[in-house]
Amino acid sequence: MISEPLVLGIETSCDETGVGIVRGATLLADEVASSIDEHARFGGVVPEIASRAHLEAMVPTIERACAVAKVKLSDMDAIAVTGGPGLVGALLVGTASAKALALALGIPVFAVNHLAGHLVVDELEHGPLPDSVIGLLVSGGHSSLVQMAGSDFQSLGATLDDAAGEAFDKVARLLGLPFPGGPWIDEVARSGDERAIAFPRGLTAAQDGAANRLNFSFSGLKTAVARWVKQQEQAGTGVSVPDVAASFQEAVVDVLTQKALAACQDTGIEHLVIGGGVAANSRLRALALERAARIGVSVRIPRPVLCTDNGAMIAALGSRLLVRGATASDLSFATTSVLPIETVVLNVLN
């Protein structure tokens, strides 16, 4: 078994064409081509536009990553690629390319779980993860709590409706902020008062019960923000966008951090890693560190550029699997729009 494998990772689950190269847990290149500007006027990612952009960007992005890493494709020990979840048409461009590279170079291909990649990417910044760690995954499509041990991922809880990032996008649109809304809310909230409006914290009341202790719900919050804005407008009192943004953001990160630390306490695991696009949120990062320190839990969050979708996270996960002796995917593997976090690597799903 190679201890420091050279792995190229390809990510095309949404609008970013990402190619990363790692040697073991060392990041050598992380190149991303985004088609987000082409989607902005539609208020969301358009699958056909994303798929076309992936195909145009795929080979140039691979070449750029190799140039930055100063390695040749023929040096690779393995290819890793996002097998799901994501937009199937977009995933197919990356997986077709990955299969072709693996077959042409005579090396294994690992079709991996995008969600697991968001958590494992932290190894590129902070070194190997502890043997047991709680993962909080927060992105536009997912809000989940995961217990990770080696290559074994177990779901502890998930959102029952909207994902955290989805709530950010919807509230941003309500406040007239551009798409994607997450970074804008973060920015605008800096000059607002997070205690100005008491928005609801979903599934945190005693009557929500033990079954939902580690689950999330953000649709009620989104509705509450919409109702509040409408009431203010009808009353003619005006809306302070910074105050609404800050109060909404506080409600989201309050719930996320509470539940992540509850998962640590329930399992007795003293390490938390946070990943996904929403992990770039400055208030989430600050509040998680502050609250975890109080109960002696260590928190790891990759730097913001590694939180968004990228190829490095896929390469990092591929490297981790290869080092741990995981079985590679068969060339006939199928991509899938829905993939539970427990399935870290796809073999043949037919």
Partner 1 sequence: MILLALDTASAATSVALVDGDVILKFARHVDARHHAELLAPMIASVVAGCAVDAVVCGVGPGPYTGLRVGVATAQSLALAWQVPVVGICSLDAVAYAARAAGVTGEFIAAIDARRNEVYWARYGDHRLAGPFVNRPGELDPQLLTLPWVGVGADPQYPDATALAQLAMPLLLAEVPLAERITRLAIHGTDDGATAKQLGHKQLLPPYPLYVRRPDAVAGAKA
Residues at the contact surface with partner 1, assessed by CB under 8 A:
13-15, 39, 42-49, 51-52, 55-56, 58-60, 62-63, 73-74, 85-89, 92-101, 103-105, 114-115, 139-142, 163, 165-166, 180, 277, 309, 330-335, 350
Closest contact distance (angstroms) between CB of 309 and Zn ion is 4
Closest contact distance (angstroms) between CB of 181 and Zn ion is 16
Our CB check for Zn ion shows the closer of 143 and 319 to be 143
**Residue 95 touches which of partner 1, Zn ion, none (Cβ within 5-8 Å per kind):** partner 1
**Residue 262 touches which of Zn ion, partner 1, none (Cβ within 5-8 Å per kind):** none
Alpha carbon distance 313, 330 (integer Å): 21
Closest contact distance (angstroms) between CB of 264 and partner 1 is 25
Our CB check for Zn ion shows the closer of 142 and 291 to be 142
**Residue 318 touches which of partner 1, Zn ion, none (Cβ within 5-8 Å per kind):** none
Our CB check for partner 1 shows the closer of 269 and 314 to be 314
Of residues 112, 52, 110, the one with CA closest to residue 86: 112
**Residue 310 touches which of Zn ion, partner 1, none (Cβ within 5-8 Å per kind):** none
Residues found near Zn ion in the complex (CB under 5 A): 139, 309
Phi then psi dihedrals of residue 33, to 5 deg = -115, 125
Closest contact distance (angstroms) between CB of 107 and Zn ion is 25
Our CB check for Zn ion shows the closer of 24 and 180 to be 180
DSSP secondary structure of 166-225? HHHHHHHHHTTPPSSHHHHHHHHHTTS-TTSS----TT-SGGGTGGGTT-B--HHHHHHH
**Residue 51 touches which of partner 1, Zn ion, none (Cβ within 5-8 Å per kind):** partner 1
Closest contact distance (angstroms) between CB of 171 and Zn ion is 20
Alpha carbon distance 276, 115 (integer Å): 8
**CB atoms closer than 10 angstroms to residue 178:** 11
**Residue 71 touches which of Zn ion, partner 1, none (Cβ within 5-8 Å per kind):** none
Of residues 187, 169, 186, the one with CA closest to residue 178: 169
Our CB check for Zn ion shows the closer of 139 and 247 to be 139
Tokens encoding 316: 């990092």
Partners of 32 in the β-ladder? 18
Which DSSP symbol is given to 331? Answer: T
Our CB check for partner 1 shows the closer of 86 and 242 to be 86
Closest contact distance (angstroms) between CB of 113 and partner 1 is 10
Closest contact distance (angstroms) between CB of 311 and Zn ion is 12
Instruction: Answer for the pair 164, 175: CB distance below 8 angstroms, yes or no.
Output: no
Phi then psi dihedrals of residue 134, to 5 deg = -95, 135
Could you give the strand order of the β-sheet that contains 132-138, starting from the edge strand earlier in sequence?
A: 152-158, 143-149, 132-138, 271-275, 298-300
State CA 316 to chain mean position distance. 14
Our CB check for partner 1 shows the closer of 45 and 241 to be 45
